[in-house]
Amino acid sequence: MTTETTGTLSKPEKIRRPRRMRALSRMIAYLGLRKALLTLVIVLFFVGTVSFIFLSVMLGVAVNTLSGPSTTADLYQQVMVMAGLSVLTFISYYFGYRFLADVTQKALFQIRQDLFEHMQTLSLRFFDRQPIGELMSRVTNDIDVITAFFQQPLGTMLMGLFMLVITLAAMFLLSVTLAVVACIAIPLMMGLVWLLAKVAGPAFALLQERLADLNGLMEETLAGEKTIIAFRQQDAIAGSQTVVSEGAREVGSRAQVLSLVINPLTVLVTNLDVSLVALFGSVMIINHDLSVGVLTTFLSLTLLFALPLTTIFANYNFILSAAVSANRIFQIIDEEPDIVDKPGAVDLKPVNGHVVFRDVDFSYVPGRQILKKNSFEALPGQMIGLCGPTGAGKSTIINILTRYYDIDSGSIEIDGQSIYDVTQESLRRQIGVVLQEPFLFSDTVMNNLKYGRGGATDEECIQAAKDANCHEFITRLPKGYATILSDGGRNLSQGQRQLLTIARAMIANPRILILDEATSNVDTRTERSIQAAIRKLQEGRTSFVIAHRLSTITNAHQILVINNGEIVERGTHDEMMKAGGFYYNLYMSQFKGRVADILPGASTHSKGAPV
């Protein structure tokens, strides 16, 4: 991994120009994916340009015909040739552009594909580092910029390049002296390119960054709309939006003005060049070194020669933007996944569910250790309860068992096999998780359930939904199982979402089950029925149940009490209640809270199990 990709993705401002240009050429190399078609495009452009230039040559020939002793028949023939050349130019260019569209669309498809596919391989650590708005900006805004570049300017510039080279060759063939005079435009134009790159380049890079900021803010604002309304922060948000928008507007107009003033400058250079050629050419005609026809051809060639240069300038802002965007996209594509299968990793065979943690140390960010020397053992079929204060590290233990993150030291084994020696796919297939924040896809209820296991039948899904107590509310939805859940299930209550994720885990039929606060969002009655469902699900499986409400885990074979990343106490509910330690206090404080809710004035003398 390079230093640039270890921190948050670097800002465009810091990107050096060679790096941007490398990214651009790498992006253009994607055109090579359809080599045969690309070759055909090049041939067609070549033929089109050569015939186009021959038109200018024929113009000169016609002028000479007029001033010489030729007949009308000669002129007629020349006009026919010119008409033929025009048709040939049209056909070549038409098909050239037509096939170029296929080539560029294939390239764009592949870039998008590479980006999305690669993002799927990246670990959670990468996503932790990136503000989601920034990532969204890359997958939307940057891809759009590249698409725009591939669709229009790229073709025009490719053509321009042909025109430039072939015209130059034709000019030197016609008259070396005049060609040299016409070439005076080249250093002048190059000076303008340099000026534009120097002045407008950074402005465009900055613009891209401002747009990313704006996108990020928009994304966050939309996602947090409820909170914004609840805290009456609409005005403040609108205010900061204005500030960020204003920033983008300012930089945008600066970048645009800079690129626009370049246009009149290039026209000026072109006209000066044509005048110079006309002046030198006329002198040569007077000295009988040149015919009028050749000068006519030459003047139109000079215009043709300046045209592509102007085109390249007119599109230079597109090139700059595309280069910046390409660089930002390749930064993601080049980001190495930090959680990878070991070479020669084998599939984890169907397990019994014997899980062993030995001296596990873990930190999300280097230097800030979260888990310290965690050791425990879960025998096949056992239920392990995890409890402890908020932020203690309970979910973290689960995150490392599923290899969402890799540990710093120690070992984790399932059925005697290190989870680091097996493929992630086979490991996760055997672990079912119900996460703390239920997540559902914007798809039908049925498809969300099927997500648990590819190939699950409708009947299996409905059975699981019944077991998890969601069948009833699903059938009450407008279209039952075919109802589309909008935006991650916002049209369901939090508890209903949680129930669906439980059903989904049931369908996955894993050997090891993880429930992270799975019942924290449901009412007591539903909780009881879920408990029953979970108990059924737990039969013959090893399960890890994280719970704040300790009543959920009192029947666990073993309860681990986590505090500050350490297992401070362990044992069964009864053992720890007798011991009167951390767990006892935690339990009693919840118990008191509950009794106080029901019976104001209840004292600490109350005995018995909380409900």
Residues that bind ligand ATP (CB under 6 A): 128, 364-365, 370, 390-396, 436
Q: Which is nearer to ligand ATP, 470 or 586 (CB)?
A: 586
Q: Which residues contact 118 (CB under 8 A, 6 or more apart)?
A: 332, 333, 335
Q: Which residues contact 483 (CB under 8 A, 6 or more apart)?
A: 444, 445, 474, 477
Tokens of 304: 């043709």
Q: Which is nearer to Mg ion, 252 or 389 (CB)?
A: 389
- Tell me the closest approach of the beta carbon of residue 528 to ligand ATP, in angstroms: 22
* Strand 566-571 with 417-418, pairing: unpaired
Q: Which is nearer to ligand ATP, 580 or 593 (CB)?
A: 593
Count of alpha carbons within 13 Å of 138, Cβ hemisphere only?
A: 22
DSSP at 72:
H
Residue 71 binds what, of ligand ATP, Mg ion, none (CB under 5 to 8 Å, by partner type)?
none
- Tell me the closest approach of the beta carbon of residue 442 to ligand ATP, in angstroms: 24
Stretch that binds Mg ion, among 130-138, 272-280, 357-365, 388-396 (CB under 5 A): 388-396
Torsion (CA) 85, 86, 88, 91 in degrees, nearest 10: 170
Tokens of 151: 């669709």
Residue 110 binds what, of ligand ATP, Mg ion, none (CB under 5 to 8 Å, by partner type)?
none
Indicate whether 110 belongs to the interface with Mg ion (CB under 5 A): no
Q: Which is nearer to ligand ATP, 274 or 553 (CB)?
A: 553
Q: Which residues contact 179 (CB under 8 A, 6 or more apart)?
A: 168, 171, 172
- Residue in 395, 426, 447, 509 binding Mg ion, rule: CB under 5 A: 395
Cβ-contact 523, 539 below 8 angstroms: no
- Tell me the closest approach of the beta carbon of residue 595 to ligand ATP, in angstroms: 23
Which residue is at the shortest CB distance from Mg ion?
Answer: 395
Q: Which is nearer to ligand ATP, 279 or 365 (CB)?
A: 365
Tokens of 88: 């040939």
Residue 128 binds what, of Mg ion, ligand ATP, none (CB under 5 to 8 Å, by partner type)?
ligand ATP
Output helix, strand, coil percentages for the chain, rounded to the nearest 5.
65, 10, 25
Stretch that binds Mg ion, among 39-47, 133-141, 435-443, 470-478 (CB under 5 A): 435-443
Q: Both ends of the chain: CA-CA distance in Å?
A: 53
- Tell me the closest approach of the beta carbon of residue 367 to ligand ATP, in angstroms: 12
- Tell me the closest approach of the beta carbon of residue 334 to ligand ATP, in angstroms: 23
Stretch that binds Mg ion, among 36-44, 247-255, 278-286, 433-441 (CB under 5 A): 433-441
Residue 348 binds what, of ligand ATP, Mg ion, none (CB under 5 to 8 Å, by partner type)?
none
Q: Which is nearer to ligand ATP, 242 or 375 (CB)?
A: 375
CB neighbourhood size of 30 (10 A): 20
- Tell me the closest approach of the beta carbon of residue 226 to ligand ATP, in angstroms: 21
Tell which phi-psi region holds residue 410, choosing left (phi > 0), alpha (psi between -120 and 50) or beta.
left
Say how far apart CA 117 and CA 120 lie, in whole Å: 5
Indicate whether 402 belongs to the interface with Mg ion (CB under 5 A): no
Q: Which is nearer to Mg ion, 394 or 450 (CB)?
A: 394
- Tell me the closest approach of the beta carbon of residue 128 to ligand ATP, in angstroms: 4
Q: Which is nearer to ligand ATP, 392 or 445 (CB)?
A: 392
Cβ-contact 462, 524 below 8 angstroms: no
Count of alpha carbons within 13 Å of 594, Cβ hemisphere only?
A: 16
Say how far apart CA 2 and CA 307 lie, in whole Å: 42
Contact set with Mg ion (CB under 5 A): 395, 436
